[in-house]
Amino acid sequence: MLPVTRRALRVSILNLISSVGLFHRPDPATQSVEKSAAAGDATAALNRNGERFTLSLRAVAKRYDNARQTLAGVDLEVNAGEFVVLVGPSGCGKSTLLRMVAGLESVSEGEILIGDQSVNNLPPSKRDIAMVFQDYALYPHKTVFENIAFGLRVRGAAKAEIERRVNEVAAQLQITEFLPRKPAALSGGQRQRVAIGRALARHARLFLFDEPLSNLDVKLRNEMRVEIKKLHQQFGITTLYVTHDQIEAMTLADRIAVMANGKVEQYGTPDEIYNQPATTFVAGFIGSPEMNLLTLPLRPHKGIRGVSLGDLFLPLPAAFSDYQGDEVILGLRPEAVLRAQHQTETTIACILLIEPLGAETIVTLTVHGQQLTGRWAADRNLATATTLPVTIDNQHLHWFDAQTRVNLATQFSNTTSMETLP
């Protein structure tokens, strides 16, 4: 009985995985199950005429063994045709959330809707989504043409339609010459294009990307990032993209959901995430080098509360005058740490480290025991300096509650455009 049980389990798993585009070596029984399941709606995706779909996550939670909670009440609205990136450190729950949308993980609480259809109880094959994984997951014994065509064949598309769609996608991805080849004859970037082409060929309601560029070298990753953005601009299919790479998130996304500990810390445009971080976590995670975060006591100076940084006094904005804390976390991006030129308010900084990057230089400084990172234009003279006067651009400061670590703008401003979730 044990071998039979294992085979049945294997068929079930392969059926589940193949239905969302994760294809390894085929199992005949699995293909039979898939084709039967798809018989009723074989060409639904092909006849959609460019219709776009929204994605809604409503108080979605995931628990294992009724104890360990991976996701806690995630709310997310993805507009039709929008490209949304889930970004965060390893273990934050972003891939689990993506797998729940795909149907590869069950939903413990809450609801997932594609368009106006709840998909909580739908198997992956009925959700009409396409998924691209970081390991390409191509059939090694099939040609590029057959890999791209596989999802269409499973869904019973006509031969002429398959030919048209595969050739159309191959031309768009510039892989037409590779159609007769097998994956072993392709580079990593070419294989990833084939995986993306397989997803594009289906005209799915939703595209899901799970760290698709992680296995590529830096140059190829940059090229593929551009390609993915161009493809989204061309097709406009609603996309959910998971990465831990903030550069991918900032350059690809219409909106970004920054995740930590199973929650969405902030959901907003790349500009909002960078310039109006909701919490110190977001402030420190997005940006390279990361934002300087200094915990400083609030002190009065000429009747105004503020913080001192060396010889500089930085007043607490009037909008936050009702803040009751004795300390505050001051956030400043490296570009807000300036080399003093003709400013009257300066302080002396000691240079700890100089990192020349060609067009710019990253400098690590200390000011009265506080360590700061600055991003400055390249200057060869820095190599011989040990101290120099600096100043702070106080128009680009961020003030955070020292206890809650939440941006004071969310507590005291009625005009902030940030979207934050508890």
Whole-number pLDDT of residue 13? 35
Q: Which residues of the chain have pLDDT under 70?
A: 1-50, 66-68, 413-422
Q: How far apart are CA 33 and CA 13, in angstroms?
A: 12
Residue 292: name the closest of 327, 258, 334 by CA.
334
Look at residue 67 in the predicted model and tell me its pLDDT: 63
Closest CA to 204 of 12, 37, 30, 55: 55
| Under 8 Å between Cβ of 328 and 401 | yes
> Is residue 228 within a helix (H) or strand (E), and if so which, with residue range?
helix 218-235
How far apart CA 267 and CA 255 sit, in angstroms, is 7
Rounded to whole angstroms, the Cα distance separating 59 from 112 reads 9
Please name the helix (run of DSSP H) or strand (run of DSSP E) that holds residue 399, with its range, or none: strand 397-401
Return the SS3 of 107: coil
d(CA 94, CA 279): 18
What 3-state DSSP class applies to 147? helix
Closest of 273, 244, 269, 270 to residue 98, by C-alpha: 244
**E strands, 162-238, where?**
206-210
Q: How far apart are CA 197 and CA 214, in angstroms?
A: 18
Strand partners, 274: none
Residues of the chain with CATH 3.40.50.300: 46-275
Give the per-residue pLDDT at 24. 36
CATH fold of the domain at 46-275:
Rossmann fold (3.40.50)
The DSSP element (H or E) to which 240 belongs, if any, is strand 239-243
Query: Which DSSP helix (H) or strand (E) runs through 101?
Result: helix 94-102
pTM check: above 0.75: yes
Give the angle 57-60-62 at the CA atoms, nearest 5°: 140
Tokens of 98: 């993506």
pLDDT of residue 25: 36
Q: Which helix (H) or strand (E) holds 412?
A: helix 408-412
Structure tokens at 318: 């009037």
Residue 398's pLDDT is what?
96
Contacts of 168 (CB under 8 A, 6+ apart): none
Query: How many other C-beta atoms can be found within 10 angstroms of the C-beta atom of residue 4?
Result: 8
Give the pLDDT confidence score for residue 23 in this predicted structure: 35
With contact defined as beta carbons under 8 Å apart, do 287 and 246 qualify? yes
Number of Cβ within 10 Å of residue 242's Cβ equals 24
Distance CA 347, CA 390 (A): 6
Q: Mind listing the pLDDT tens digit for each residue in 171-221? A: 888 899 999 999 999 988 888 889 888 888 877 889 999 988 887 788 888
State the pLDDT at residue 413: 67
Write down the pLDDT at residue 66: 64
Q: What is the DSSP string of 11-29?
A: HHHHHHHHTTT---S--HH
Predicted local distance difference test score (pLDDT) of residue 348:
93
| Neighbouring C-alpha atoms within 13 Å toward the C-beta of 197 | 30
